[in-house]
Amino acid sequence: MPDHTPIFRPGQGITRTTSAAVTGGQLVAVSGNDTVAATTAATGAWLGVAAFDAPVGEKVTVICEGVHELAASGAIAAGARVVPAAAGAVADLGAGTDYSQVVGIALAAASGGKVRVKLAR
């Protein structure tokens, strides 16, 4: 079971129950009362990054701040604002204007399906 270690973590993680299985390193969003699930699309309800794998109904630590290497959905340039995407990944905001969904800023261009992101919260 792979763990996810943030690159830099100035804040503390919080614990929530999963409403669906999550994998360490996936971006998660609030999915109900005190529950989280991997993101499935752009949403302003994103919370942070799952610290480790957790099956449905189990507790997971969610890291809400810091710099993380996340799965990239499509091309993302350094400096781009990113939003939640399917499978707990992030995507370029592109021409979108819904800044309430911005997860953070890409610190480097996506490479090998991953992108380094500074979380905005």
> What tokens were used for 90?
């992030």
- What is the pLDDT confidence band of residue 11, given thresholds at 50, 70 and 90? low
Query: What is the pLDDT at residue 5?
Result: 76
Average pLDDT, integer, range 67-87: 96
The pTM (predicted TM-score) of the whole model is 0.89
The pairing of strands 13-18 and 35-38 is parallel
Q: Where are the domains of the chain?
A: 13-63, 67-119
Token pair 């957790």: residue: 54
Alpha carbon distance 96, 100 (integer Å): 11
pLDDT of 2 above 80? no
Q: pLDDT tens-digit profile of 40-62? A: 999 999 999 999 999 999 999 99
Average pLDDT, integer, range 84-92: 96
